[in-house]
Structures are given as structure tokens and as C-alpha cells.
Structure 1
Amino acid sequence: MKRRIPDLRSTWFRVLGPLVAWSIVATASAQDASSGSGKLIERPNLGPIAPGSLDSNLPPSGSLQPNPFSIDPGIIGGRRRSGRIPRPGARGFSESNVGGPPALPDPLPGVAPPEPSDGPPVGDISDLVNQDGPADGLTLDAALDRLKTANLDVLALKYELPQAQADILTAGLRANPLLYFDTQFIPYGTFNTRLPGGPTQYDVNITYPLDVSHKRQARVAVACAAKRVLEAQFADVARRQIANVYRSFVDLQSARIGLRALETLIQQQEDVLKQVRRGAGPKKKSALEAEKLEIELAKSRAGLNDARDSLADAQEALGLLLALPPDETERLEPRGRLRALHPPLPSRDDMIRAAQANRPDLAAARLGIRRADSEVRLARANRLDDVYLFYDPFTYQDNHPFQAASARSWALGVTFPVPLFNRNQGNISKAQSNLGQSHAEVTALERRLASEVRQAYREFVAARESLILVERSVLPRARFALDQAVSRFLAGDLEVGDYLDELEDDADSARLYRDAVFRYRRSMLDINTAVGVRLMP
């Protein structure tokens, strides 16, 4: 009989030892797996989501460097530019808007931006802005299609969506039951009639937490709301990336036209210089006057490097957005007219209503209200902790030391918290404050959105009127004046200085026209960005 008790104990130890060791290892693994998250549901890191950002303390984007999403923390679409087009200095090749994209995306490592240079004047580009470009060139629609499937930043952000779905799965998981084994009344020796005690007792307990306040359902609601917000934020990131492609594509068109116009100008100057060397031009020309023509031609040739660098920078910027290989980036040519026609434009009020219905950043802010309301309900559900149901299906009492039959029994119990002090008051108040903040953010974003649309509309109207004025009043007269100046100069009726002055005036007019077309085309595409719908081709 004395040997039976140690045998029974050793049997318990052999059974319980592996179970205890397994539970310790499983608990440690679960803690290691969850140590990186810190909390069950986290806001996804999308980088700056402006305007209408739902998060203010956003960490760096990590793998999204250089980050093209942080270029414009203020107004996204319809940012108003100055109505005046700067007039360059004497015979200056203005940096204007053909020097590559303004800041989209950041320069690649090791590629320094070109130094600004006055350079040579540009030639007549009235025909170039109406050309479609090479037949095998990249159209704007093709660029947008490739953006959706090849842009690495967009593809990286897509991983946030399955992560949000995983958060929903995590939020819906039920709590695990607890399995407990114990042995009580173990004697220091043995129990007998002279030293009564015990009897030694062996228990198997099961404890299951009961979510009586429906915290799990509240967590799932918060996770689902967070995913819907994330989807809207992702759509807004796509909208702003499309705006980046708009700008980079127009920059590439402008840079290509600037280079072609400069090459045409150089050819014209070479032709004039050849005729002068053959005897055409002023009847009493001096060596100094011929030298002036050669100097002017040398200035134009020197500007070719700047124009080529501008084209290469524009190709690099668009190629980075479209994830093109370097060899394809170097051969990238745009197809499509810079002087594009536009369909009838809706009224300003209709555009504002369309923006309020289609802008994904506003949709994300409105969905943020639902998420904040779900967080309030979750905070209220967390006022009461789980109730623990205790069930002991097997209790064995060893009465062999007393020469009696052993007994078996079961037990049932409940453990519940008493919320006397901590009723989650602070988190409830914080969630309610966040809900009010979300309402205020939506109101502010609606006003900002309407302002962006109005600014984009005014900019488009101003750019269109400026372009019409240049096309009707400036460009035809500049063409006529230059043709007359070349004819008179070659006929000997115009001095070299006067001819160079006419050449400078024509360069200013051509530059004014190019910048007006550039501004007009950009204002068209900015309307698409401001409204969130493609109204312009």
C-alpha cells in the first residue's frame, strides 16, 4: 500500500510534466509573435495622407523612399499658380517649366539636378505643341495603365489591405480556455491513523472566459471600419500618384518640345549665317557684326546640353513612377498634343458636388467617423472584464492510507470582476473626444475640398484666357515680325543689332506661348485631381 502512493504520484508527474512543458513553450511563442504589435488593431501607415489626414504622427515610409507622397502636404488639386509668366532676360533660355518636374519624385541617388542657366532663346514652337509626337511614343492613358500595375510604391501599399483583413481575423478570435492540473495535501511522509491528514487530492480544472459585454464583436466592428478607411486612403494615394503622372508626363512633353524647338532655332541660325558668309546681309557689314552672329549661334548650341538634361530629368522622373528599366527610360518619348482640346467644362458648383461625392480622401474622413464611433462602443464594452466559468470535472481523493475507498467528485464555479474603481472611464472619454475630432475634420476637409475645386477652376479659366490672348495677339505678330526681319536682314536692309533684337523678341514670344500652353495643359489635369474624376482628357 505504501508503494502505491509513490507509483500514483509518479504517474501524475509523467502525465502532467509534458503538458506543463508544452503549455510554457506555447505561451512563450505566442508572446514572441505578438511582441511586435503592441496592440490588437493599429492604424495602417500610409505615409502622409493630406489633405484630411486621419493620423498626425506618421512614421517614415521606410521602403517607400524616395517618397513621392509627401510633396504636397497642403492643397492637392487645383493649386493656384501665379497668373504672370516671368519674362526672361536678354536672349535667355528660361528655365521655366521644362527643367523637369518640380519635385516629383525626389532625384535619384547620385543624380544632381541641373544648374539653372539662362542659355539661348527658344524657337517657334507653335507647330510643335500641336504635334502628336512619335507613333511609338507613350500616351497618357498608357502611362496611367502602367501606373496601376507597375508602380512600386502603390504595389507596396497594397500589402496594407491583407494586413487589415488579418486584423479583422485577429479581432474576431475567441479567448482560449485554461486547463489546470493540481495535487493537494501531499504529506511529508505518509498519512496514517496516528498522523491523520489529507486525503491527497488530484484535480483537473477547466476555466473558460465569457465575454458578457460583447468585446469581441466590438473589436471586429473597429477592425472592419479600419479596413474601410484604409481602402479609401489607398484610393486617395492612387489619386495623388495619378496626379504625379499627370505632372511628370506634361513635364516630359514640355522638355521634348523645348529641345526640338532649340534644335530648329539652331538650324535657322546656321542657315542665316551661311547666307551671310555667302554675301547676304548688310551691305557694309564688318567682321564684328559677323562675329556677333557666330556668338549668338554658339550660345544656342551651348544651351543644347541644358535642354537635353531637362529632357533626361523628365524621362527619369516619369520612368521612376512607372518602374521602367533604365534603358527604356532613356528612350521614353511622349505621344499626345501638349495643346490639347477640352470638352465643355461643368459649372463650378457641379464640380464641387462631384468632388464631394468622389474624392477618396473625403470618403476616408467620413468613414473615420464610423470608425471613431466603433471605438467608443469598444471602450464601453471594455468597462467589464470577462467572467470566468470554472469547471472541475474530476477530483480524486486518495483514501488508501486510511484503509478506505478513494472518492471522486466534481466542482463548478464562477469568477467575475466587480467594477468599483476602474470602469475604463479614461479610454471612453478619449474615444468620445476622438469622435468629435473626426466630425470636425470632416467639416474642415469639406471646406478645403471646395476651396481646391474653386482654385483649380479659376486657374483653368485664367490659363485658358491667357493662352487665347497669346495665340490671337502675340504669336501671329511675332511670326510676321521675325519673317520680315529675316528677309530684310538677308536683303541688307537691317543691321545685325536690329536683327538680333528681333530675334530676341521672337524668342520671348515663343517662350511666352510655350509657358501659356504648359500652364493651360497642367490646369486641365489639375481639375481631374481636384475633383477626383477624370473630366479632362
Structure 2
Amino acid sequence: MTLDEALKLVLNTNYSLSSARYAASSSEGLVLQAQTRPNPILSVELEDTSRRATRSTTTTLSLPIELGGKRDARIAEAKLARDRIHQKKEQIHADVRAQTMVAFFDVLIAQERVALSTRTVKIARDAYRIADKRVEAGKVPPLDADKAQVAVANAELEAALAANSLESARRSLSMLWGNPSPQFTKVDAKISTPLDRPILDDLSTALEKSPAVQAARLELERSRAQIQVERSKRYPNIEVSAGVIRNNELGRNQVMLGVSIPLPFFDRNQGNIYEASMLAYKTRDEYLDLKTRLQVQLQQTASEFDIAKNSALRLESQIMPSANLAFERARRGFEAGKFSFIEVLDAQRTLFQARARHLSALSDAYQALAQIDRILGRNSL
């Protein structure tokens, strides 16, 4: 399975993403409802119901009329709420994508660890075989063969742990597309040191356009629009009505017109206006706090990437070649009887540690890049 195939599976079947898509679709209902106007009211009143001859029937149609810009303010607030939900969907998309990349590279690194531990087991077994032959030939004490056997056991234990970690990583990846039992056998990608990241100024500029920051900014604008919604409610709605009065006793119809106007002497919606104003201040501080935290996370992650990349490059160019050369010399020297098995074990341990550190550095570098993409809501890998 390639990274593109894994991303395609996750983006099509991940439950968090599908839930976010439904939430984004449902937000269109907010705007639709905000655009609706008040319903007219039809009322019928009967007087003197016991006697038909003197009965009076009043039929009235009333229509509430919104004043103070209530509808426009309501629509503006609903559109901002809708746009915020869509940005949250984009943020969830970026989060899930980053999780997929991290899980994919976890599997990839785990596969490399299994391959590395398998090679280490082979090296340890070869060393044990050589040591056993030299003990039989009387060239080295039996202690060397015992140490070689312990080294084989340790290498086999490391291989078993690596295999278990790989299986766990495979399950973590497949669970992202809703399958707890992995159907793929391995992931396929070339592990190489990542290229340079963008400079911090470019990352900071990109942060302003990230879904997380955009969603927080829209929430701030929505909270301010909510103040306008509450302020518009200070102006009462009027209700105009028209109707017909049928007077059976007089035998004629009478037209009736009316206007109803609430008088805002006491309730001017002042409590809700105050609450909305304070919530807008709260949202503003949350917006500024989020930007600060994301900026710090971006800088820290960029620094972690630089450290991991530099470590991987140094291990590739200096440490691993030297460790490999030292091990080969120790192994050949041991076979020729020039070195003790202790020196072979030390060289083998140093080589294994260098390879393991190289894999860890590559894993840290790719995870840092995935984290940067998650924060910025973009795709660079």
C-alpha cells in the first residue's frame, strides 16, 4: 500500500471526516432558517354562539413585521456560523490527513526496524557460529561462545518486539479507515531524508490562512454579529392586521384594520446585549490565544524537524559508515583471531544503535512535517 492509496481510503471512509461533512451540510439550514420571514396569523372569533340570528363572526389575518434590521442581522450571523463550520471541516480534514501520514510512516519505520532486527539476528547467529567453532578448536575460551549465544537471544528478542510493534502500527493505520484488522501486508515508500522546510516567515504567513485560524476568526466575527442580532431586538416588531366582521343581526359585513405595537418601556433586551458583548470579548481572547499557541507549536515543530533532519544526515554521512566499517573490521579480525568476541559485540551494538537512531531521526522528521501540515491545513508531503 502506498501513501496515496492509504490517504484515499481514509479520506473516503473515515468516520470523523464523514461526520464533519454532514455537519457542514447541515449548516446550510442555519442560513435557510435565518432567511425565513414570520408566518401570518389567521384568527376567527365568534360572539353570541348560542343564537345564530345575533351571532357576530370576526375573521382576522395578522402579519408580523420585523423592524430594526433583525432579519439582515440574523442572516449575517448565520452565514458566519456556516462558514465557521466549513472551516472546522477543513481542519478535521487536515487533522485526519496528518494522522494518516504519521501512522503510515510509523508502519514504514516499523517495517525497517523489523528488517534491521532480522539482519541483526543473522549477524549474531553468524558470530555465534564462528565463536562456537573457535571454542571447539581451542582458540578461545567457552565464555566467548556463551556471550555469543546471549547476543543471539537478545537479538531474537528485539526482533520479536519489532514484529509486535509493526503489527500494532498496521492496526493503527487501518483503523483510520474503519477497519480494525489490516488487510494490507506492507506499505511501500522510499525512506529518505526530507527536503528543507519553508522558512519561518513563510510558515507564519501560511498560518494566517490555516483552517484553524480561519475558523477562530469567523467565530470572532460571528460573536460580533451576534451583538448586532441582540441589538436589533431592542426594536419591537409591529403587527398589522386586516379582517372582516360579519354581524348577522345587522346583516352586513364590516372591515376591520389594526396595528399592534409593543412599547419597550422595560425590556429593551439589555441583558442579552450585555451577554453577547462579553462573549465577543471572550471569543476575541480565545482567537488571540489560539494564534499564539499555533505560532509557538509551529516554531517548535520546525525546530524539531531541523534537529531530526540534521541528526539523520549526520548519521548517514558519518556515524553509520564508521560504525559499519568498525563492525566489519571487528568481525574479520575475530575470524582471523586478532580480536576478542567482546570487541565484536561492542561493534555490533554500536552499529545497531546507529541504525536505530537513524530510523528514529527519519521518523521524527516525517512526523514533524506532518504536524506542520496539520497546523497549516495543507499538503506538502
TM-score normalized with structure 1 length: 0.66
Deviation at 1:482?
Answer: 0.6
Q: Does 1:243 align with 2:243?
A: no
In structure 1, distance between residues paired with 2:194 and 2:74: 52
Distance 1:525 1:157, change over 3 A: closer
Code of the residue aligned with 2:367 in structure 1: it is: R
Match of residue 390 from structure 1: 241
Code of the residue aligned with 1:180 in structure 2: it is: S
In structure 2, distance between residues paired with 1:397 and 1:517: 92
Distance 1:497 1:516, change over 3 A: same
In structure 2, distance between residues paired with 1:510 and 1:501: 14
Match of residue 281 from structure 2: 436
In structure 2, distance between residues paired with 1:388 and 1:527: 56
Match of residue 139 from structure 1: 2
In structure 2, distance between residues paired with 1:347 and 1:307: 36
Report the more deviating stretch, 224-233 or 362-371. 362-371
In structure 1, distance between residues paired with 2:136 and 2:356: 27
In structure 1, distance between residues paired with 2:332 and 2:135: 10
Match of residue 317 from structure 1: 172
Q: Does 1:349 align with 2:201?
A: yes
Q: Does 1:338 align with 2:183?
A: no
Gaps of 5+ in 2: none
Match of residue 373 from structure 1: 224
Deviations 1:212-255 (A, max 9, x none): 23323322221111000111111111111122112111111111
Q: Does 1:168 align with 2:31?
A: yes
Secondary structure in structure 2 of the residue aligned to 1:159: helix
Deviation at 1:290?
Answer: 1.9
Match of residue 453 from structure 1: 298
In structure 2, distance between residues paired with 1:391 and 1:524: 68
Q: CA RMSD in A?
A: 2.4
Code of the residue aligned with 1:250 in structure 2: it is: F
In structure 2, distance between residues paired with 1:492 and 1:334: 43
In structure 2, distance between residues paired with 1:480 and 1:291: 25
Match of residue 88 from structure 2: 233
Name which of 327, 346, 352 aligns with 1:482.
327
- Is this contact kept in 2: 1:281–1:492, CA < 8 A? no
Deviation at 1:491?
Answer: 2.0
In structure 1, distance between residues paired with 2:100 and 2:297: 19
In structure 2, distance between residues paired with 1:361 and 1:259: 38
Deviation at 1:279?
Answer: 4.5
In structure 2, distance between residues paired with 1:513 and 1:150: 34
Code of the residue aligned with 1:515 in structure 2: it is: S
Code of the residue aligned with 2:247 in structure 1: it is: Q
Q: How does 1:247-326 map to 2 (within 5 A)?
A: 247-279=102-134, 283-324=138-179, 326=181
Code of the residue aligned with 1:390 in structure 2: it is: S
Match of residue 511 from structure 1: 356
Q: How does 1:96-175 map to 2 (within 5 A)?
A: 138-175=1-38
Deviation at 1:377?
Answer: 1.3
- Is this contact kept in 1: 2:193–2:312, CA < 8 A? no
Secondary structure in structure 1 of the residue aligned to 2:57: strand
- Is this contact kept in 2: 1:222–1:371, CA < 8 A? yes
In structure 2, distance between residues paired with 1:224 and 1:266: 63
Gaps of 5+ in 1: 1-137, 192-197, 400-404
Q: How does 1:1-12 map to 2 (within 5 A)?
A: none
Name which of 245, 252, 266 aligns with 1:407.
252
Match of residue 416 from structure 1: 261
Paired residues in the alignment total 381
In structure 2, distance between residues paired with 1:288 and 1:176: 96
Q: Does 1:528 align with 2:373?
A: yes
- Is this contact kept in 1: 2:110–2:165, CA < 8 A? yes
Match of residue 121 from structure 1: none
Match of residue 202 from structure 1: 57
Distance 1:282 1:488, change over 3 A: farther
- Is this contact kept in 1: 2:107–2:166, CA < 8 A? yes
Code of the residue aligned with 1:376 in structure 2: it is: I
In structure 2, distance between residues paired with 1:173 and 1:333: 55
- Is this contact kept in 2: 1:218–1:377, CA < 8 A? yes
Match of residue 4 from structure 1: none
In structure 1, distance between residues paired with 2:137 and 2:168: 42
Match of residue 185 from structure 1: 48
Code of the residue aligned with 2:83 in structure 1: it is: R
Distance 1:277 1:251, change over 3 A: same
Deviation at 1:529?
Answer: 2.9
Deviation at 1:178?
Answer: 1.7
Code of the residue aligned with 2:374 in structure 1: it is: T
Deviation at 1:325?
Answer: 6.8
In structure 2, distance between residues paired with 1:516 and 1:281: 43
In structure 2, distance between residues paired with 1:479 and 1:199: 114
Deviation at 1:433?
Answer: 2.2
Which protein has the bigger helix share?
Answer: 2
Report the more deviating stretch, 252-261 or 384-393. 384-393
Secondary structure in structure 1 of the residue aligned to 2:88: helix
